[in-house]
Amino acid sequence: MYFNSTKILLVNTMMIGVIMVNCSNNWISMWMGLELVLMSFIPLMQNENLLTSESMIKYFIVQSIASTMFLFSITIMLVGDSMMTELNEIILTTSMLIKLGSAPFHSWVLMILEPLSILPLMTMLTIMKLPPLIVMHQINTKILTIPILLGMILSSVACLNQTSIRKTLGYSSIYNTSLMMVIIPSIIETMLFLTMYSFMMITLGKSIKTLKINYINQMITNNFNSWVKLTLWINMLSMGGFPPLMGFFMKMMVMQKMINENQMFTPLFLVMTSMLVLLFYMRLTFTFMLTFHSFKKWMLLSKPANQYMFVLNIAMTPLICSSMINL
């Protein structure tokens, strides 16, 4: 196994940045943590694909703009002008929305996804969302309704027209970011949601890496055995929110939170857009499971490493239910 000490160091510094944001008691320390995460993640994006350099530059520019806005709002706070409080809240929230890649600032996410390897892609769509979510919890803003609704509508509709698997995961990330912003006042529920989402994304990413698929039409003919296909099928249904899998309980948790707070408008959008997301994932899974496939005879006797990974998506459900009840 190839050991890359540089990547180990970068992953460590990135996690130190995440912990720094989580444990900070002032805005400057949070900003330093965000910068540490940014500068540690950018080299991890590099691979043999020549287009990754372009993605790295785009990612750096977008994140730098967001960090500059965050630092500017901290400066306004230090001045202490009461007239600037509302403007300051808008600037803070906008900077974190850009860092999250949430609607309406989501275009940069889709621009940089294609050349990335699976591991940096999964990291960007899961762990990298944690520091901005923690900062947004500290801001405790009330102006998130429009970004949440925009994220739900744009990602669910645009996802139907996609053929690229990576862009599909990008739109799924934008959609689930909107759901996380709904429950942002409760940081425990947000972390539980992000943990479940990260688990599903990493499992799905492993399946995609095993199958070496980048586009939907590559799913039609494949030479993998039924265990690998079943794993991908269950994971995609879970990502779509199909009961009784993990993704369904994530959405149920969000709906329960909204109903408890007497929000009846947002759950309506959640149900409508969830149907579109489920439609897309169902289309993918039926394309994959019901079309012709062939594999070599000796594949019948082989036992792949991830043979029973699909069971985790079902076995984790009782644990999630008990966690939700305790909340």
End-to-end CA distance of the chain: 42
- Distance CA(251)–CA(195), nearest Å, equals 14
Average pLDDT of every residue of the chain: 80
Between CA 285 and CA 51 the distance in angstroms is 30
The model's pLDDT over 104-145, given as tens digits with 9 standing for 90+, comes to 888 888 888 888 888 888 888 888 888 898 888 888 777 788
pLDDT 10s digits, 2-49: 567 788 888 889 899 989 988 888 888 899 999 999 999 998 888 888
Q: pLDDT tens digits for 263-282?
A: 778 888 888 888 888 888 88
Residue 1 has pLDDT above 50, yes or no: no
**Which of 13-17, 43-47, 147-151, 318-322 is the least confident region?**
318-322
Stronger pLDDT, 1 or 64, i.e. the higher one? 64
Instruction: Name the token pair of 115.
Output: 């050349």
The pLDDT score that the predictor gives to residue 221 is 64
**Do 168 and 162 form a contact (C-beta atoms < 8 A)?**
yes
pLDDT given at position 324:
53
Percent of the chain with pLDDT over 70: 83
Residue 307 in this model has a pLDDT that exceeds 60: no
pTM, to two decimals = 0.86
Tell me the three-class secondary structure of the chain, residue by residue: CCCCHHHHHHHHHHHHHHHHHHHCCCHHHHHHHHHHHHHHHHHHCCCCCCCHHHHHHHHHHHHHHHHHHHHHHHHHHHHCCHHHHHHHHHHHHHHHHHHHCCCCCCHHHHHHCCCCCHHHHHHHHCHHHHHHHHHHHHHCCCCCHHHHHHHHHHHHHHHCCCCEHHHHHHHHHHHHHHHHHHCCCCHHHHHHHHHHHHHHHHHHHHHHHHHCCCEHHHHCCCCCCHHHHHHHHHHHHHHHCCCCCHHHHHHHHHHHHHHHCCCCHHHHHHHHHHHHHHHHHHHHHHHHHHCCCCCCHHHHCCCCCCCCHHHHHHHHHHHHHHHHHHC
Q: Which helix (H) or strand (E) holds 106?
A: none
- Is 292 a residue whose pLDDT tops 60? no
Letter for the amino acid at 198?
A: S
* pLDDT value for 60: 92
260 pLDDT higher than 60: yes
- In the block, tokens 């055995």 appear at 225
CA distance 262 to 104: 26
**7-16, 55-64, 133-142, 285-294: which range is least confident on average?**
285-294
Q: Give the domain ranges of the chain.
A: 5-326
